Amino acid sequence: MTTTPTLLTIEPLTREAFAPFGDVIQADDAANHFTINEGNTERYHDLARIDPGEDGRAIVSIFRGLPRTLPFTVTMMERHPKASQAFIPLSGRPYLVVVADPASRPAVADLRVFLCRGDQGVNYARGVWHHPLLALEAVSDFLIVDRSGPGENCDVVPMDAPGVIPVTD
Ligand SMILES: NC(=O)N[C@@H](O)C(=O)O
Ligand code: NI
């Protein structure tokens, strides 16, 4: 691994930009939404493709993440080859996701960094490279929808070079 760090660019999270990596879980007008419960409730419908794999079961957990300090250096990435993994923020705070295309081993030049608002969740599609949870500002809870089942479902790789996420303004 070369030691020359690469400064990474932070992008705002949008459905379009994140589409190669999975789904954005967000209650906005771009979602399929309709009124239910005699007008009391708006349903934002079918926002993410939850994929527990052929031999797995979808499970719901909560991750309580400590805040990361910026600048943050990305030295590894992981993927879940058997299933998707969704993160829905419960604490209303922003967080970061770092992703790379599932087709090949991630190189630092391939990394995409998204700043997610506290009302935006993400669902990593099966096999998408991502960094483990990057909470910001304070201890933050996230609802997680991922897989329980047989076999190993987490590949971890070191980065070819460090990627540095700068301080956000
Ligand atoms: N290990 C674990 O369940 N967490 C990671 O998969 C993650 O993406 O944070
Ligand atoms: Ni993960």
| Domain extent listing, the chain | 6-165
Atom 1 of ligand 1, residue of closest alpha carbon: 132
Task: Tell me the mean pLDDT per 10 residues along the chain, length 169.
Answer: 85 98 98 98 98 98 98 98 98 98 93 98 98 98 98 97 93
Atom 9 of ligand 1, residue of closest alpha carbon: 132
At 4 the pLDDT is 85
| Fold classified for 6-165 | Jelly Rolls (2.60.120)
Helices (H) and strands (E) in the chain, counts: 1, 15
Asked if residue 69 lies in contact with residue 137, where contact means CB atoms within 8 angstroms, the answer is no
Q: In whole angstroms, give the CA distance from residue 121 to residue 82.
A: 20
At 2 the pLDDT is 58
Asked if residue 147 lies in contact with residue 80, where contact means CB atoms within 8 angstroms, the answer is yes
Number of neighbours of residue 107 by Cβ within 10 angstroms: 14
Q: In whole angstroms, give the CA distance from residue 130 to residue 86.
A: 12
On the 0-12 / 13-18 / 19+ scale of CB atoms within 10 A, 70 is middle
At 169 the pLDDT is 75
Atom 7 of ligand 1, residue of closest alpha carbon: 132
Atom of ligand 1 nearest to the CA of 130: 8
Residue 151 CB less than 6 A away from ligand 1: no
Asked if residue 1 lies in contact with residue 159, where contact means CB atoms within 8 angstroms, the answer is yes
ipTM exceeding 0.85, yes/no? yes
Cis peptide bond upstream of 71, omega within 30: yes
Residue 50 CB less than 6 A away from ligand 1: no
